[in-house]
Copies of this chain bind each other. A is one copy, B any other.
Amino acid sequence: MEARNFLRFLFLSLSVVLLIIFTWFNFPHAPQSATELLDCATTSPWCTSSKNRIFHPKPQPKPTRRRTNSHALDVPRHPLDPLTVSEISRVKAILSSHALFKSPGPHSLHSVELEEPEKSRVLEWKRGDLLPPRKASVVARVRGASHVLTVDLATSEVIVHRIGPHSGYPTMTVEDMTTATVAPLASVEFNRTIVDRGVDLTDLACLPISTGWFGGAEEGRRLIKVQCYSMKDTVNFYMRPIEGLTVIVDLDTKQVVEISDKGRSIPIPKAANTDYRFSTMEPNRVMDMLNPISIEQPKGPTFTVEDDHLVKWANWEFHLKPDARAGVIISQARVRDPDTREFRDVMYKGLASELFVPYMDPTDAWYFKTYMDAGEYGFGLQAMPLDPLNDCPRNAYYMDGVFAAADGTPYVQSNMVCVFESYAGDIAWRHAESPITGMEVREVRPKVTLVVRMAASVANYDYIVDWEFQTDGLIRIKVGLSGILMVKGTQYDNTNQVPNQENLYGTLLSENVIGVIHDHYITFYLDMDVDGSYNSFAKVHIQREKTSPGESPRRSYLKATRNVAKTEKEAQIKLKLYDPSEFHVFNPSKKTQIGNPVGYKVVPGGTAASLLDLDDPPQRRGAFTNNQIWVTPYNRSEQWAGGLFVYQSHGEDTLAVWSERDRPIENKDIVLWYTLGFHHVPCQEDFPIMPTVSSSFDLKPVNFFESNPILRIPPNVAKDLPVCKSSASA
């Protein structure tokens, strides 16, 4: 070895060691015993947790580094409670003595979660009853094959064991992702091209990008594409892509399979003006435009969280739990009837089932970017601790997630979900008599809601998912998009150099930075149980009706026609502004006193539809976005719209495939699916970090109540409102 090569080797080795050390110290390690459980707060100074189960209305100092709730003593109290720390440890122990895991060779657990009891068992369970047997559903990779196992925690036995499908792999483990990002460094070729581009290996930040499936190349082995960035002089390395360089890594062996190196002439965009951290702002450039503002509740919040998971607020109650794949799961949402004072079922289970985020650039380093964030990355695994006072207001309650590392060891994701009451100054209902009648009537009621929030950071992008409950029975599901764009390097630093801007596949955002056009689809699973499990789905079609000659001075009016869907295909719905319908899930066995079917309707807001070719491989895998609404019969195995094994799947196990079976859905236990979409043509305002864009849809009672359920809520009066002073003067 020449001296020069030896120096190179030494330098690279040192870099690799440094990177491994860096990763080691930043990765949330699995602790060795339940009493020594770590959560992110142990390693992160910016991390906090909700030590107290019920919100403390007094102002608290900004939480500092401290050991937070280990959850070591948690016990399940509800059939739907997630696996506890000790249960996950038991699962690990049971599996370790199972034949599959005893034999040598690599193995890892990709999912360890509660196998929920049969719905009927859950529905008949009452507080105080014994819990149904606790079981864990486990997805494992063992020696290159996927396995699905059910572990019975009562008998300590593996009671179900089946081999995974031929296509599709489980959700990546966090270990998969982090090891993939350092795998390229084992390649001399890779390291050389990095150095040749003028980037220090120590400045390298790499991302694991799911490959999707486009044919033979993505079959037979678990692959990931790694792309890298320079984090020199900025924490926002996403704005400094090393363009055109793609490393294909085998996720099981961690070996580099192939390197595609095409963008050497493209400069790495500069770091200037990319950092977004407040600590890096020059004090004289801080825009402190607003006086402090806060939502205050002098008598404390109205909601309670019983047994760690049962949220009770105003006329609502529901079970809430973090989930590694969906982020959060809302179960058994029930609303109190103002007349009977009894709770009535609305939704058995609601969750973000899958995401589909196709980028609109067909070139080598970009075509495969068609993320399915829940099934590939774990939407909940990426939901980092929320920032008190900023992610959620002061009156928020925080809930931790408990997940399993790849070796089965439990770990705590603290402050992963927050719950708070919101008041924006809005109006729940009002009426004032006008000068026309001159009557002295003015009645107004303020609108207060309960928000359940999580924010998943799937690498660059941040998704804020809110479940907002209103006292009038409405549930609003809102998705906010923020975080950082996935951008493309370019030689251009001004649009006047671009021959045809349409061929940029996006917008020039800054010198040498293109924001690539992309879509976001979030498909929600909504197992509606409107006053019971057996429901039907009706389209209330709103159509122009022409009057007969002489019938009326009017030539036309709109008529609503109710069509009950008999089978799944009748409930595959594309929204149409000029051929509108309302979409009702109703209970065919229950009517209001005056005879209307008791129901909830799904009310779309602003949205977007996927326009990709239906035969394009990404769209086949994301075929659950082919319609905005679907209705399927309840089926335990149909919860993940892109299939259980989404990674590199061919799209043979999606909602679209299930729905094609055209099963009966009338007067059945049915599941409603709604897809919320966004087209995102980036603009300069999105650089270097995006102002939140959000959209929502509603689940709204429609003849569910006999009358306005909040007729009798009181108005605000001054004497109830708080007396506040600034804390500086306190």
Task: Please determine whether A681 and B540 come into contact, CB atoms closer than 8 angstroms.
Answer: yes
Contacts of A642 in B (CB 8 A): none
CB distance from A419 to the nearest CB of B (A): 11
CB distance from A559 to the nearest CB of B (A): 6
CB distance from A543 to the nearest CB of B (A): 7
How far is A511 from B706 in the complex, measured between Cα atoms in Å?
11
Contacts of A45 in B (CB 8 A): 440
How far is A321 from B191 in the complex, measured between Cα atoms in Å?
65
How far is A166 from B685 in the complex, measured between Cα atoms in Å?
50
Task: Please determine whether B727 and A722 come into contact, CB atoms closer than 8 angstroms.
Answer: yes
Interface centre among A360, A430, A686 (most CB of B within 10 A): A430
Interface size class of A (residues with CB under 8 A): 35 or more
Q: What 0/1 readout, one digit per residue, does chain A (34-64) give for beta carbons within 8 Å of chain B?
A: 0000000000111000000000000111100
User: Which residue in B424, B554, B713 is a CB contact (below 8 Å) of A214?
Assistant: B554
At the interface, yes or no: A703 with Cβ under 8 Å from chain B?
yes
Task: Please determine whether A684 and B713 come into contact, CB atoms closer than 8 angstroms.
Answer: no
Task: Please determine whether B26 and A439 come into contact, CB atoms closer than 8 angstroms.
Answer: yes
At the interface, yes or no: A368 with Cβ under 8 Å from chain B?
yes
CB-CB under 8 A for A46 and B424, given A611-B578, A724-B296: no
At the interface, yes or no: A437 with Cβ under 8 Å from chain B?
yes
How far is A482 from B440 in the complex, measured between Cα atoms in Å?
18
CB-CB under 8 A for A558 and B684, given A431-B276, A553-B215, A724-B724: no
How far is A61 from B389 in the complex, measured between Cα atoms in Å?
30
CB distance from A204 to the nearest CB of B (A): 11
Task: Please determine whether B616 and A555 come into contact, CB atoms closer than 8 angstroms.
Answer: yes
CB distance from A210 to the nearest CB of B (A): 12
Question: Which positions 535-592 of chain A face chain B at CB distance < 8 Å?
Answer: 540, 542-544, 546-547, 551-562, 574-578, 580, 582, 591-592
User: Which residue in B377, B442, B510 is a CB contact (below 8 Å) of A384?
Assistant: B442
Question: Which positions 676-712 of chain A face chain B at CB distance < 8 Å?
Answer: 679, 681, 683-692, 695, 701-712
Question: Which positions 461-518 of chain A face chain B at CB distance < 8 Å?
Answer: 462, 464, 470-474, 480, 482-484, 493-496, 501-502, 505, 507-511, 517
Contacts of A480 in B (CB 8 A): 426-427
Task: Please determine whether A360 and B558 come into contact, CB atoms closer than 8 angstroms.
Answer: yes
At the interface, yes or no: A595 with Cβ under 8 Å from chain B?
yes
Question: Which positions 400-450 of chain A face chain B at CB distance < 8 Å?
Answer: 420-448
Interface centre among A612, A701, A725 (most CB of B within 10 A): A725
Interface centre among A235, A421, A442, A720 (most CB of B within 10 A): A442
Contacts of A716 in B (CB 8 A): 292, 294, 389-390
Question: Which positions 604-634 of chain A face chain B at CB distance < 8 Å?
Answer: 604-609, 611-613, 615-619
A-B contact sample (12 more), CB < 8 A, given A429-B482, A434-B459: A22-B438, A177-B435, A181-B437, A285-B712, A293-B297, A298-B725, A362-B551, A393-B446, A423-B424, A428-B691, A493-B594, A582-B679
Contacts of A276 in B (CB 8 A): 431, 443, 711
13 contacts between A and B (CB under 8 A): A27-B438, A278-B714, A287-B713, A291-B299, A291-B300, A363-B552, A384-B435, A393-B446, A428-B692, A437-B459, A554-B618, A596-B684, A719-B727
Interface centre among A27, A314, A384, A457 (most CB of B within 10 A): A457
At the interface, yes or no: A159 with Cβ under 8 Å from chain B?
no
CB-CB under 8 A for A577 and B609, given A44-B440, A722-B727, A727-B723: yes
Contacts of A22 in B (CB 8 A): 438
At the interface, yes or no: A289 with Cβ under 8 Å from chain B?
yes
At the interface, yes or no: A288 with Cβ under 8 Å from chain B?
yes
CB-CB under 8 A for A431 and B292, given A553-B215, A574-B578: no
At the interface, yes or no: A639 with Cβ under 8 Å from chain B?
no
Q: Nearest chain-B residue to A718 (Cβ)?
A: B62
Task: Please determine whether B558 and A437 come into contact, CB atoms closer than 8 angstroms.
Answer: no
CB-CB under 8 A for A23 and B502, given A546-B613, A691-B428: no
Task: Please determine whether B27 and A607 come into contact, CB atoms closer than 8 angstroms.
Answer: no
How far is A430 from B418 in the complex, measured between Cα atoms in Å?
15
CB-CB under 8 A for A392 and B425, given A297-B292, A540-B681: yes
How far is A717 from B483 in the complex, measured between Cα atoms in Å?
21
Question: Which positions 170-203 of chain A face chain B at CB distance < 8 Å?
Answer: 174, 177-178, 181
Q: Nearest chain-B residue to A172 (Cβ)?
A: B436
At the interface, yes or no: A523 with Cβ under 8 Å from chain B?
no
CB-CB under 8 A for A683 and B702, given A606-B605, A722-B294: yes
Interface centre among A437, A445, A446, A723 (most CB of B within 10 A): A437
At the interface, yes or no: A387 with Cβ under 8 Å from chain B?
yes
How far is A472 from B692 in the complex, measured between Cα atoms in Å?
9
Task: Please determine whether A713 and B438 come into contact, CB atoms closer than 8 angstroms.
Answer: no
At the interface, yes or no: A641 with Cβ under 8 Å from chain B?
no
User: Which residue in B390, B714, B726 is a CB contact (below 8 Å) of A715?
Assistant: B390
Contacts of A327 in B (CB 8 A): none
At the interface, yes or no: A381 with Cβ under 8 Å from chain B?
yes
Q: Nearest chain-B residue to A285 (Cβ)?
A: B712
At the interface, yes or no: A122 with Cβ under 8 Å from chain B?
no
At the interface, yes or no: A315 with Cβ under 8 Å from chain B?
yes
CB distance from A522 to the nearest CB of B (A): 16
At the interface, yes or no: A455 with Cβ under 8 Å from chain B?
yes
CB distance from A442 to the nearest CB of B (A): 5
Task: Please determine whether A689 and B718 come into contact, CB atoms closer than 8 angstroms.
Answer: no
Task: Please determine whether A295 and B294 come into contact, CB atoms closer than 8 angstroms.
Answer: yes
CB distance from A46 to the nearest CB of B (A): 5
Contacts of A456 in B (CB 8 A): 434
How far is A174 from B363 in the complex, measured between Cα atoms in Å?
66
